[in-house]
Each structure stands twice: as C-alpha cells, then as structure tokens.
Structure 1
C-alpha cells in the first residue's frame, strides 16, 4: 500500500498526541506519588514488573492484569505492600494505561507499513471493528464500575476461574490448529465473526470492570481461534484494551484507590514493555506466542488460588 502524505501526517499526529497524553498522565502520577530517593531504591524491582507485565500483555493482546493482579496479590500476601483488592485493581488499570497505550501506538503505527497489508486485515476494517466493539464494551464496563458492587473475595475468585478456563482454552485451541499454514490466515473479518465479536464485547467490558482484564483476552482468543494473524489478533486486542483502561481509570482515581508510588515506579517499565512487545511477538510467531500467553493466563489463575484477599 502506498501511503499518501496526508495519511502519513495523520498517523504522525495521532502518535504525537498519544505520546503527549502519556507524558501528561505520568506527570500527574509523579505529582501524586511524591517519590524520594529512598523509596526509589527500595522498590526498584517494580520497574521490571512493569516491563514483564507489559511485554506479555502487548505481545499476546491478553492485557497486563494477567500479570499485575497475581504479582501484586503475591506482594500483598508476603507483606511487601499493604494492598486491598481495590488498590490492586486500581494499580492494574493505571499501569496498563501506560503499557497498553504504548503497545497500541506501536501496533497501530505499523498497520500502515506496506508489508503489513498482505497479512493483516485492512486498516479500515481494523478501525471499524475496534469502534464497534468499544461501542458495546465501554458502556458495559462503566455501568459495572459505577453501579455494580460485588464482594472483593468473589471478584478475585471469579478471576481465578476465568483465568484458568481462558488459559486452557488458548492452549487447547493453539495445539488444535498447530499445523495451519500462513497462507490460510484470514485478511478480512467476516460478518459472522463480527457478530460474534459484538456479542463478546459486553462480556469483555463487564470482565474488564471487575478484573482490569477480559476484553482484550476474549477478542484476541477468538481472533486467534478463527485464524487471523498476530497483527490482527494481538494488535486489535491491544488497542481495545488501551482505550478501555484509559476510560476506566478515572473511576479508581476518583475513588481514591490508586497506590501512586507503585504506579510511578512501575509505569516506565510498562512503557518499555509496550514498546518492545510487537517485535517479540513477531519473532516468536503465532504458535509460541499463543502457548506462552495461554500458559501464563492459566498459571496466574492457579497461583491466585493460594492467595487471600484483604
């Protein structure tokens, strides 16, 4: 595809605007965190938590919550931090605002490269699909955040079951389709697949409100199973996840649930992970990537079975 100058300018403008948004958001986090040298030194490892979580999330499209929820629950259980389930959920939302948004910038920018068009769905198909899914998922997520209250114990329990079932489904579907050749990958979302995606969107929005993950995972899994390439499956899921956490984060900020110090140290790592994830995804290939993502999702759910909720 030959890009016209107006198209290149629009892409550059959107990337610049997104980067400015991230800079402003991080300045807001730093203002609230009020870090000092001792805090940075004693909690330096959080930077690598951000890198690991965002890399897994943006490479597979599964969302950073599949890493951040079990990790922060483990830290809480070990006594490193005193975090409620509301604090952990807020941290996952805010960190993903950085990691998933950076990942979305990288994935979406590369949609416009000529060599991408032969293996991915068209850019118009990409944006139309994302818009329709978000149109149903976002209102569901917001309604759940502001109007639905579920005991934190049951929220975490549901996330454990959700993670284990989803992870097993990813691994099984991957092994089942292990021998699918690249030339059979779909380059256009069919009307039937689109209808199913629109049915899944509210379910993902509901899950996102409760767990900070769910929407991207469901979309990525369905597209992988249906035979779409990494660029379509992971890229679309990452973009949708990015928009959902950016819109969902204010709920936790206004509720006063955000552990600002943790966000301030983890977010730069999430930016790094989001930036490098696409190259890792493409170098691993769809088969290894799906096994890695599915395995981690299932393992994180199993690990969480051993953690309690404050």
Structure 2
C-alpha cells in the first residue's frame, strides 16, 4: 500500500516537473528575444543618456503590444537598466579626478524632484497624451535629435574658428532655473512616453557646455529615479507585460554594465553625434512607419 502511494506521489512529482519544464521552454522560445532587446535598450540608454524607451517603444508597438503596456513595460525594464547604469556612472564619478565631475550629485539633486513632480502631475491630474503614442514619440525624438545635431554643427564651426569653449565647472543660477523647468516638463513627457526627461536634460547640459559624459551620467541617474517614481502607478493598473520583463529586465542589467565602458571609450564628439543620429533616426522611422 505504501509502495503504491509512493509511486503515485512520484508520478505526480514527475508530471509537475515535466509541465514546468515545458512551460519554461515555451517562455524561453517565445520571449527570449526580449532579453536581447533589454541589452540593446540599456546599452544605448546608459551610453547616450536617452531613455531605453527610445528602443523599447517602437519595438513594442510593432509587436502589437498596447500603448499602455508599452509604456508600463518600458518603465519596468528601465528600472533594471537605468539603475544599473546609475551605479556604474556614480562609481566612475568617484574615481574620476576631473573637476567638473563633482557637479554630478548637485545637478542630479536639482533635476530629480521636479522630474518626479512632473510624472506625478500626469498621474494625479489624469493628464492624457496630446496625441497617439507613436506620433508623439516620433516627433519628440526628431526634435531632440535635430537639437543635438545642431550643437554638433556649432562645435565644428567653433573648432574651425579655433574657439575652443571651456567646459563649465560651476552651475549658474540661470542653469538651475532652466533645469528645474526642463525637468518638470521632461517628467510630464516621460509619464506619457517612458522617455523624455533624460534626453532633454542631456541636450541642455551639452548645449550649455558641460562635459558630454557628465551630461549623460546626469541623464542616466535622473532617468533611473524617474522610472522608479512612476513604476508603482503602472503596477497598480496591471499594465506591465510581465513575460517581457522576465527576460528584458536581466538583459537591461547586462546592457547597463556594458554601457559605461562604451561611453567612456568613445571620443566626445563621436559620442555626441552618435546620440543625436540615433534619436533622430529612431523618430523618423517611427513617423514613416505610422
């Protein structure tokens, strides 16, 4: 009798293991590509300052994921990738002996509260997007890309004129006011698109003459705090696509680790132009597809 009971339990355990194995294999075959997407998104996001949504949103839209799920899942994946990237950049800042890297904490603390306020304003007041997710994302990306290309052209002109601008080492009152306003507006856009505040702040800091890698680091840290401030809202509404996050999240961690090495090994001007070109091309493709 006890032998029969043991056989039944053994059969149940084996059946359970077989079912779980097939379920895991199915999940891997269906969603494993999102791991690569997470790596790419975090790699570009943490190497350029642009949020991972620059890659995630167009990809999710083409795969038929709803706009709400796209934004929520992009927020969730960025919680992994941008947090990892922030740790990498902060570690780099501690080791860096260049004077203006000491501005990283100050710039971050100026921007973070107002970005979060912008995000919570959208959720608390129920501010809906002024257009479809695809079009708003496309136009925003094109605008930021063109702005950064413009700053690159200005640098080429200054180089030809032998006018090498000094990198800023002190934050002016004008910059503080501008960063507060831009962070709030960027937070609103981020709530709609899952990207926005990082790109806007990175663009402004680069345009004003701050070190490019410093601007990227500030954008990454700011984006990390911003997505964490908004993810609870999306979890509450149950909009996160958990199966995608299961693979995209760990992939984003890998991308976040690799990104800092990429950003600090590429010459400043090339990094700046890469950032601008990538954002502009992503927006243009999204606009043409839709």
2:206 to 214, 217, 224: 224
1:300 to 278, 282, 286: 282
From the superposition, tell whether residues 152 and 201 of structure 1 become closer, same or farther in structure 2 (CA, over 3 Å): closer
Is 1:188 aligned to residue 170 of structure 2? yes
Is 1:126 aligned to residue 111 of structure 2? no
Give 2:136's aligned residue: 158
Task: Give distance in 1, aligned partners of 2:163 and 2:57.
Answer: 35
Task: Give distance in 1, aligned partners of 2:206 and 2:82.
Answer: 19
Determine helix, strand or coil for the equivalent of 1:121.
helix
Task: Give distance in 2, aligned partners of 1:181 and 1:210.
Answer: 40
Q: Which moved more, 1:181-190 or 1:166-175?
A: 181-190
Cα RMSD after superposing both structures: 2.0
Q: How does 1:20-31 map to 2 (within 5 A)?
A: none
Report deviation, 1:295: 1.2
Give 2:8's aligned residue: none
Q: How does 1:186-265 map to 2 (within 5 A)?
A: 186-265=168-247
Give 1:144's aligned residue: 122
Report deviation, 1:149: 4.0
Task: Give distance in 2, aligned partners of 1:183 and 1:307.
Answer: 40
Task: Give distance in 1, aligned partners of 2:261 and 2:183.
Answer: 27
Report deviation, 1:151: 5.7
Task: Give distance in 2, aligned partners of 1:36 and 1:244.
Answer: 32
Task: Give distance in 1, aligned partners of 2:263 and 2:164.
Answer: 15
Task: Give distance in 2, aligned partners of 1:300 and 1:235.
Answer: 22
Report deviation, 1:119: 4.9
Task: Give distance in 2, aligned partners of 1:305 and 1:275.
Answer: 31
Task: Point out the structure with max Rg over C-alpha.
Answer: 2
2:32 to 23, 35, 44: 44
Unaligned runs of 5+ in 1: 1-34, 77-82
From the superposition, tell whether residues 230 and 181 of structure 1 become closer, same or farther in structure 2 (CA, over 3 Å): farther
Report deviation, 1:155: 3.6
Task: Give distance in 1, aligned partners of 2:250 and 2:228.
Answer: 16
* Cα shift readout 1:26-76 (whole Å, capped 9, x = no counterpart): xxxxxxxxx722111233221111111111100111111111111111222
Task: Give distance in 2, aligned partners of 1:224 and 1:246.
Answer: 25
* Cα shift readout 1:242-279 (whole Å, capped 9, x = no counterpart): 00001111111100111100011111111011111111
Determine helix, strand or coil for the equivalent of 1:186.
coil
Task: Give distance in 2, aligned partners of 1:224 and 1:93.
Answer: 25
* Cα shift readout 1:70-101 (whole Å, capped 9, x = no counterpart): 1111222xxxxxx1100100111000000000
Report deviation, 1:181: 8.3
Task: Give distance in 2, aligned partners of 1:110 and 1:143.
Answer: 33
Give 1:59's aligned residue: 47
The answer as to whether partners of 1:119 and 1:229 remain within 8 angstroms in 2 is: no
Determine helix, strand or coil for the equivalent of 1:36.
helix
